[in-house]
């Protein structure tokens, strides 16, 4: 048999660089200096963790909702174009999608900074007398994350919308439904699997964000990923970092399982990346 030989390199790579590191996380979170439950005890007692965990979930949720709200009409527009022209519009969305997350976050720092473009324009327009603080605010983190994830929302939604039968919406119109009724009772329900898939995907991706909150949110708007980094690199506390990584992973897995359960398999293929 050739097949086992063909997958052997992949399995070997994943064993050493994916599975064993994961086992190491489990091992360290359950066998730190403070005994088997040191990691869990830290999670339960740390008020910092509780606050940041709730903040991470809230941030992921609001970013997901904003992306869906902004992305849905844009996806409708692309899906409504003739198939031959869709490529051009998709390219406009793909271009920022393929640009480095670090670079895109950095440009927001330039725009929102004290001497940045936004402050310069506000002062030039006479809307502000002195530079306003935009960096290290929730607004900055949301702007940065929405800019990064919006293409994912649009691409996922377009994938589902282009597979719909446009005849059904037209039939509703011919039978006397107003455009709004046709949209609300026919088109929107048909795109629901796409909305759910996009929502779960965005939520999963937002949970692990590290660069954007670190650069634009600063120390006051950390996410779990930033706290893991802080515990490892500043506090040298691997046990709590591992325990948090397990919580983050568990949350992601719950979201993936929900996604599989809510959306039939075939609707996932038009998805992002």
Partner 1 sequence: MSPRLVRFGLGLWFCAIVLFLLFPLVFLIPLSFNESEILSFPPTVWSLRWYRVLFLDASWSNALWLSVKIGVLVTILSLVIGTASALAIVRHRLPGASLLYGLSIAPLIVPSIVIALGMFMLFARLQWLESLTTLVFAHTVVAVPYVIVVVSAALRNLDETIERAARVLGADPWRTFLLVTLPALRPAILAGAMFAFFASFDDLVITLFVSGAMETLPLRIWNDLNLRLDPTVAAASCVMVAMSMIGLGIAEFARSAGLRRLRMENTDG
Stretch that binds partner 1, among 32-40, 47-55, 65-73, 125-133 (CB under 8 A): 65-73
Residue 156 in tokens = 């996922």
- Given the complex with partner 1, which of 51 and 253 has the nearer CB atom? 253
- Assess 257 for contact with partner 1 (CB under 8 A): no
Q: CB–CB of 224/56 below 8 Å?
A: yes
Return the residues of window 185-214 that contact partner 1 according to CB under 8 A.
204, 207-208, 210-211
Residue 81 backbone dihedrals phi, psi, to 5 degrees? -80, 155
Measured from the CB of residue 33, what is the shortest distance to partner 1 in angstroms?
Answer: 14
Size of the site for partner 1 (CB under 8 A): 78
> Which of 58, 133, 181, 273 is close enough to bind partner 1 by CB under 8 A?
273
CB under 8 A: which stretch of 35-43, 98-106, 158-166, 184-192 binds partner 1? 98-106
Stretch that binds partner 1, among 36-44, 70-78, 157-165, 184-192 (CB under 8 A): 70-78
Residue whose token pair is 């939604």: 157
Residue 151 near partner 1 by CB under 8 A: yes
Which residues 31-50 are close enough to bind partner 1 by CB under 8 A?
none
The one among 42, 108, 134, 203 contacting partner 1 by CB under 8 A: 108
Say whether residue 242 binds partner 1 (CB under 8 A). Answer: yes
């Amino acid at each position: 048999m050739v097949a086992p030989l063909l997958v052997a390199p992949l399995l070997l790579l994943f064993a050493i660089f994916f599975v064993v590191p994961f086992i190491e996380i489990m091992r360290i979170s359950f066998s730190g200096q403070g005994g088997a439950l040191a990691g869990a005890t830290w999670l339960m007692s740390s008020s910092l963790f509780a606050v940041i965990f709730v903040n991470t979930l809230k941030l992921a949720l609001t970013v997901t909702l904003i992306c869906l709200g902004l992305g849905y009409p844009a996806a409708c527009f692309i899906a409504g174009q003739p198939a031959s022209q869709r490529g051009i519009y998709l390219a406009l969305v793909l271009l920022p999608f393929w640009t480095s997350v670090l670079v895109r976050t950095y440009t927001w720092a330039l725009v929102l900074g004290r001497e940045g473009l936004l402050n310069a324009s506000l002062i030039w327009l006479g809307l502000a007398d002195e530079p306003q603080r935009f960096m290290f605010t929730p607004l900055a983190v949301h702007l940065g994350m929405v800019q990064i994830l919006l293409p994912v929302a649009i691409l996922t939604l377009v994938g589902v919308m282009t597979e719909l039968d446009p005849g059904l919406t037209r039939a509703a119109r011919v039978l006397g439904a107003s455009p709004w009724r046709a949209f609300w009772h026919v088109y929107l329900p048909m795109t629901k699997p796409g909305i759910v898939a996009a929502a779960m995907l965005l939520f999963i991706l937002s949970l692990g964000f590290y660069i954007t909150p670190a650069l634009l949110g600063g120390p006051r708007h950390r996410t779990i990923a930033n706290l893991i980094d802080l515990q490892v690199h500043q506090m040298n506390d691997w046990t709590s970092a591992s325990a948090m990584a397990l919580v983050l992973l568990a949350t992601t897995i719950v979201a993936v399982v929900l996604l599989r359960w809510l959306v039939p398999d075939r609707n996932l293929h038009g998805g992002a990346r």
